[in-house]
Amino acid sequence: MATLEIRDLHVTVEADNATKEILKGVDLTVKQGETHAIMGPNGSGKSTLAYSIAGHPKYTITQGTVTLDGEDVLEMEVDERARAGMFLAMQYPVEVPGVSVSNFLRTSATAIRGEAPKLRTWVKEVKESMAALQMDPSFAERNVNEGFSGGEKKRHEILQMELLKPKIAILDETDSGLDVDALRVVSEGVNRVRDTGEVGTLLITHYTRILRYIKPDFVHVFANGRIAESGGAELADKLESEGYEAYVKGGASE
C-alpha cells in the first residue's frame, strides 16, 4: 500500500524582494485508498503544500521530509515524481499549444507505464473515460486546454487522473469555477478513481460543497502555514457553520 509521508515541512517563497515562510511545519500521512480534505482560508498555505510536493521551482523547502513508499520525493525531478505515482490536478490548468489531448495523454501514459499502451485498447479506454466525464470526443484532437472553458479544463484534469492511475492524487481546488452540473460530473470522476482503492487522494478546497459529493475519510484545517486541527468528515460541517476565524486567530490548538 503506497504511503505519502510529510514530516515537519517548512517552505519559503520569494515575494516583493523578501523571503516569506509559507509552510511552518506540516505533518501529514496519506495512504493509498484514503481521502483527505485540506480546508482553510486564502493564504493559509494549502496550494503551497500541493505545489511543493509536486516540485514547483517557485517554492524552496527549507526543512522537513516528503517520502513516497520510503523514497525521498524531494530528491526527485518533477517527471520522476509523476513516474513514482504522484499526480497533481492544478487549480489553473495551463494551455499547451501544438500538443493534442490524445498525444498528450498517450505520451504521459507511456512515461508512467514504461511502454506505450496498445492503441486499440487505449482508444477504447480514452473514449469510455471521456464519455463518463461528458466530454465531447472531438476534444481528443484539440490542443491541450486551448480554448477550453474552466469546467472543460477541470474535466480534462480528472480524465488524466483516470487514465494515468496514480498512487497519490493531489487535487488543488478542483471545484474552483465549476457550476453545479460540472461539479457533480467531476466529483463522480474522482469517486470512480477513489473507489478502486488504489489511489490516495489529497483534496484541497475552500468550501464544503464538493465534500457533499466526495466524502473524505479525514479533514484537516490549514491555518497560518500548518495544520491547526484534524478530524473526520464532521469537521467539515463545523467549518461550514463556524468558518475559519477561530483558527486564523489561533483559537485552535496546533
What does the pLDDT look like over 33-89, one tens digit per residue? 999 999 998 888 999 999 999 999 999 999 999 999 999 999 999 999 999 999 999
Question: CA 114, 120, 123, 128: dihedral to nearest 10 degrees?
Answer: -110
C-alpha cell recorded at residue 158: 480528472
Q: Establish if 164 belongs to a structural domain.
A: yes
Q: Choose the weakest-confidence range: 78-82, 215-219, 248-252.
A: 248-252
State the Cα–Cα distance between residues 236 and 2, nearest whole angstrom.
26
Neighbouring CB atoms inside 10 A of 226's CB total 19
What is the total count of domains within the chain?
1
Please give the pLDDT value at position 252. 43
Model-wide pTM > 0.85:
yes
C-alpha cell recorded at residue 60: 524552496
CA atoms within 13 A on the CB side of 192: 18
Please give the pLDDT value at position 1. 82
Q: Establish if 254 belongs to a structural domain.
A: no
Q: Establish if 253 belongs to a structural domain.
A: no
Q: Choose the weakest-confidence range: 24-33, 119-128, 242-251.
A: 242-251
Neighbouring CB atoms inside 10 A of 97's CB total 8
Residue 251 has pLDDT above 90, yes or no: no
Residue 225 has pLDDT above 50, yes or no: yes
Burial class (CB in 10 A: 0-12, 13-18, 19+), 96: middle
Q: Establish if 210 belongs to a structural domain.
A: yes
State the Cα–Cα distance between residues 103 and 72, nearest whole angstrom.
30
220 three-state secondary structure: strand
Q: pLDDT above 70 covers what percent of the chain?
A: 98
Q: Which domain holds residue 92?
A: 3-248
| CATH code: domain of residue 61 | 3.40.50.300
N-terminal to C-terminal alpha carbon distance within the chain: 29
